[in-house]
Amino acid sequence: MKILGIDPGTLVVGYGVIEKSGSEVKVIDFGAIKTGKNQNFPERLKTIHTRVTELISIHKPDQMAVEEVFYSKNFKAAIKIGEGRGIIFLCAATSNIPITEYAARVVKKAIVGNGNAHKGQVQEMVKVILGLPEIPQPEDASDALAIAICHSHNLQTGPSYF
């Protein structure tokens, strides 16, 4: 089973594709979709749509997983990220791919065993779990791989759409 994990954003969207076979998980691809700082917001959303659609076309994932929006102090940023997530959900829906969302604490608990783990701990465990020589870069890609790995552990239990 192929899983496309997405760490949403509007300037940078991390992605990671893994394949799960039994209890084995291996990395297929990872990276980041970077939108132009000079692009207006609708153009950024279009770039995200185009690139996520391309990733789906190339890798043909069976499932997708995305991180939930974390709202802290910047309400405007949370709304913009939510709009970017909407584009990602649209890509999944138009390709008939089930998509599940996970809170950051759930991802950290699945990867490190502690929902309060630091980002560096999560990145190190992603490297170990996938047998990589280095922590995946950029940071957004490492986060996306963590989301995909989390989903691979929760295939039977997590809420899905479709």
Alpha carbon 50 to chain centroid, angstroms = 16
Of residues 132 and 162, which shows the higher confidence score?
Answer: 132
CA distance 146 to 149: 5
User: Annotated catalytic residue: which of 24, 62, 67, 83?
Assistant: 67
pLDDT tens digits, one per residue of 36-82: 889 999 999 999 999 999 999 999 999 999 999 766 667 788 888 88
User: Annotated catalytic residue: which of 62, 124, 140, 143?
Assistant: 140
Task: Tell me the C-alpha to C-alpha distance, in Å, between residue 135 and each of 41, 72, 113, 158.
Answer: 31, 27, 18, 27
Burial 27-40 (b: 16+ CB within 10 A, else e): beebbbbebeeeee
Element holding 104 (H helix, E strand): helix 104-112
The CATH architecture annotation of domain 2-153 reads 2-Layer Sandwich (3.30)
pLDDT tens digits, one per residue of 120-156: 999 999 999 999 999 999 999 999 999 999 999 987 5
Q: What is the pTM of this model?
A: 0.92
Q: Which of 87-91, 99-103, 156-160 is predicted with the least confidence, judged by mean pLDDT?
A: 156-160
Amino acid at 126: V
Residue 1, CB-side half-sphere exposure with 13 Å CA sphere: 19
Active site residue 29: no
Active site residue 7: yes
**Residue in this structure with the two tokens 């957004």, named with its chain if needed:** 140
Residue 115, CB-side half-sphere exposure with 13 Å CA sphere: 5
Active site residue 62: no
Is the peptide bond between 136 and the residue preceding it cis, with omega within 30 degrees of 0?
no
pLDDT tens digits, one per residue of 98-115: 999 999 999 999 999 999
User: Annotated catalytic residue: which of 7, 62, 124, 143?
Assistant: 7
List the chain domain ranges: 2-153
Give the CA radius of gyration of the chain: 15
